[in-house]
Structure formats: structure tokens, C-alpha cells
Amino acid sequence: MASLSEGEDSKGGSNPTGANAMWGGRFAGGPSAIMREINASIPFDKALWRQDIAASLAHAAMLAEQGIISGEDGAAITAGLKAIAADYAANGVPENWDLEDIHMTTESRLAELIGAPAGRLHTARSRNDQVATDFKLWVRDACDAVDAGLASLQAALVTRAGEHAASIMPGFTHLQTAQPVTLGHHLLAYYEMLARDRSRFADARHRLNRSPLGSAALAGTGFPIDRQATATALGFDGPTRNSLDAVSDRDFAIEYLTAAAQTALHLSRLAEELILWASQPFGFVTLPDELSTGSSIMPQKKNPDAAELVRGHSGRIVGALVSLMVTMKGLPLAYSKDMQDDKPPVFEAAGLLDLCLAAMTGMIAGAAFRTDRMRAAAELGYATATDLADWLVTAADVPFREAHHITGAAVKLAESRGLALDALPLADLQAIDSRIDARVFAALSVESSVAARASYGGTAPEQVRARVAEARLALGME
């Protein structure tokens, strides 16, 4: 970003005195070019314009109602702010670095439109409580947006889980085949993760929903304002209880980023599984063409780029959390200019998270699962070994530790012959332990294995279908 020479504004005009009227009479000269560049936040905080207009409208209405400003001035301010909002919506927010931020940009434009009454809008407030209010409103909107995105992804997972309630795949621990599970059960694991993510955003939204407006610079104000009125007008549960805390609190932004980081980790885990499953050695899934790319040199390639970018973006979202935590860790009360750097990491994380949720929803909804490959993989990895051990315990009254040893010997024999466990002859199994009889084969198929896991929350198709029905009801899909 090019710096500006002193006396030159961002539109190319000149300011002969070099003074910034917004700073008032305390400063004889304006900021240097370096100071102007490091101080201006309008390039990013212009994203707050809707919230800034809404808070100013509520503040102006309260000032007029309380008789702090005249009804005529209140009406002029309201009309001017609505006109500015329409202009911003149509043409964007202008960036004049001399005006520093969205608050001064809007106030300056208001003065151009309505003249002297514009100067009354800032009565009984400071940019400190103004920005805290605007930022809280923005984060609250972001919580609502991410909740909708999470719900959409949950719905996609539940839909596909219902389709594959009985589709068998290998379940892994240590990325080694462990026990057979159903694909529906696997997908519902991510539904549960996202449900916890939604609860974290809901908790964060609840805690942030107190209005800082009226806290002024740090100590409150001597004007007879009605903070409950502005809080109600802006949809807050009430005003904040301590003005020092209100203007210096950024817990709400850190909580949003904490929830965003945890969500990003969950999305990254799902993305990693899709990447593995889409690879030729697995061949469990074909991802949608519109969310994949090809190679510039290898025509056979279909790269899971959207999934890889979801995985990669998780690092940036976690980095945004760390950035803001480090910014805030050593600040004394109340407001410090360091806090101007609170918004870029939140804005970046929110944009990335919304994009990742949309991409992942598209991948899950459009994925073609190769259930034949999944079932074959489940059979290859001796995934029913635990079922043999369980059968020995229940049908032959063998202590589990002894059953575990017997099962290990059976797996070793099957592996040496290149056979599945249920393909071993009964005589060979009985040579390992005479207590094994023909009933064992009913327990050794992958279908029998998953059906047996019918405990609440287990992988049995009946349990998966029950959880799908509950999830559909919770999401309002019925």
C-alpha cells in the first residue's frame, strides 16, 4: 500500500494545513504519512458499516427520546444515516485515510448531508464504545451465519448416513483396520462433532449479547442516557455492567475464534479422510468434479483440491485465534490502539470458515461412495477378529484374555494362508482350540459383526437408522 505525503489526502487532493479536523484543536499539525498509514483502519473496518449505521440509528433515537438532542435534529440524523446506508449498499464505502475509520467516515459524510446536526450524533458516546458495539454486532451476525452453515453440512451428513446405514466399511484405529462399521455410523460421527461446534457458537453468542453502547470512552457518561433502550433496539439482552470492561473486552471475538478453530479442526479431519478415501489405494469415494481439479501434466489425475484447501485453511483459522490472543494478552485497561488489530483475524477466519463449510457440504452431498470397495477392505483386514474373541467368551465360556490369545493364533493362521477368518476350515479352528464349533461362522461375517454392535450409539444398522431419525428431527428435516 503506497504511503501518502503529508498534506495529501487519499483521493489525491491537498490539505494545506496538514491538520485533521477530527482530532480537534489538541494537534497543530496533521499526522505524518507513516502515521496516517499505520493508523488508518478504514481498509478493513469498513466491513462494519451496517453495524455502525444500526448502532448510530439506535443511539440517535435514544438521544432524541431522552431530550438530549432535539427531535428535529434526531430526525435529520436518522434520515441522513439511512441515505448513507443506501449509498454504501449501492456504491461501497469510500476509503479516505484522513478519516481513519468507518466511524469518522460516516460522521463526515453525515455532516456533508445535514450540516450542523451531524455533530450532535456523537453526544454521550466515544469511538471506544462505538467500535465495541459495532464489532459485537458483527460477530453476533457471524455466529448466526456459521450456525446456518453448520446445519447445512449436518443435513448433508445425515442424508448420506441414512442412505448408507447398512453399508459396511473398515473402522480404523491407528489407521489400521480394527472392526467393521457402517458408513452411516462413520458419517454420523461428524454430525456429532458439528453439533458440539454449534453449541459452542451458541454459547459464545449468548455471552457476547450485552451492549457496550453508552460506556463512552471508559467511565460512562454524565448525560441522562437510556442504555437499556439502545440495547433493546439492537437486539441485545441488556447493557454491559462495567464501562471499563465494556470498551476493553474482546473475549467475544476470541470466543468466536476459539469455536471457529475447533470447527476448522473437525472439518480438517473430515477433509483428510476424503483425501485418503479418494486416493487410488483406498478408492472408497469419488468426489464431485466441480470440487476437484486436474493436473497440468498428468491427464489421469483428479485432485481433491477443495478438500485439501479445507484442510489447509484450518491452519489459517487457528492462526487467527493465536494472533488475537497474543494481541490481547498484555493490555492494561481500558482501550489501547493495539485493539485496532482485533478485526482482521476475525474477518479472515469468518470468511474462510464460511467457505470451508460450503465446500464440505458440496463434497458430502455430491460424493459417490464405492461401498463395494469399502466392504472388500473390511473383509481383508481381519476386522471380525474381535467377534471371534467375543464368541469364545459368550458361547464357550472362555475368559476374555484367553479368548484374545486364541483369536490371535487364528488370525496368524488365516494370514499365513491368505484367507479371511470366516474362510478357515472348522477343523483348523478346532486345532487351535477344541471349544470352537460350527456356530462360530455366524459371528465371523462382517454383516454379523456390525449387526451385533447394537448397543446405544453403536454401528448396527438399526442403531444408525435410529440416530438418523433423531438427527433429522433435530434439524427440522421431517
Active-site positions?
174, 295
| 445, three cell numbers | 461375517
**Which residues does residue 8 pair with via DSSP β-bridges, in sequence order?**
14
| Location of C-alpha cell 493490555 | 331
The Cβ of residue 82 has, within 10 Å, a number of other Cβ atoms equal to 12
Please count the CA atoms within 13 angstroms of the CA of 92 that sit on its side-chain side.
Answer: 6
What residues contact residue 312 under an 8 Å CB cut-off, 6+ apart? Answer: none
What residues contact residue 320 under an 8 Å CB cut-off, 6+ apart? Answer: 257, 260, 261, 345, 346, 348, 349
Side chain identity, residue 83 = A
- 421 phi and psi angles, rounded to 5 deg: -60, -45
As a three-state string, the secondary structure of 72-97 is HHHHHHHHHHHHHHHHHHHHCCCCCH
Side chain identity, residue 345 = P
| 412, three cell numbers | 496368524
**CA-only gyration radius of the chain, Å:** 31
Q: 420 burial class (0-12, 13-18, 19+ CB within 10 angstroms)?
A: middle
Q: Is the peptide bond before 278 cis (omega within 30 degrees of 0)?
A: no
What residues contact residue 198 under an 8 Å CB cut-off, 6+ apart? Answer: 147, 150, 151, 154
Contact predicate 251/207, CB 8 Å: yes
Terminal alpha carbon distance of the chain = 53
What residues contact residue 192 under an 8 Å CB cut-off, 6+ apart? Answer: none
* Spatial distance between the Cα atoms of 84 and 118, rounded to a whole number of angstroms: 12
**Which residues does residue 169 pair with via DSSP β-bridges, in sequence order?**
181
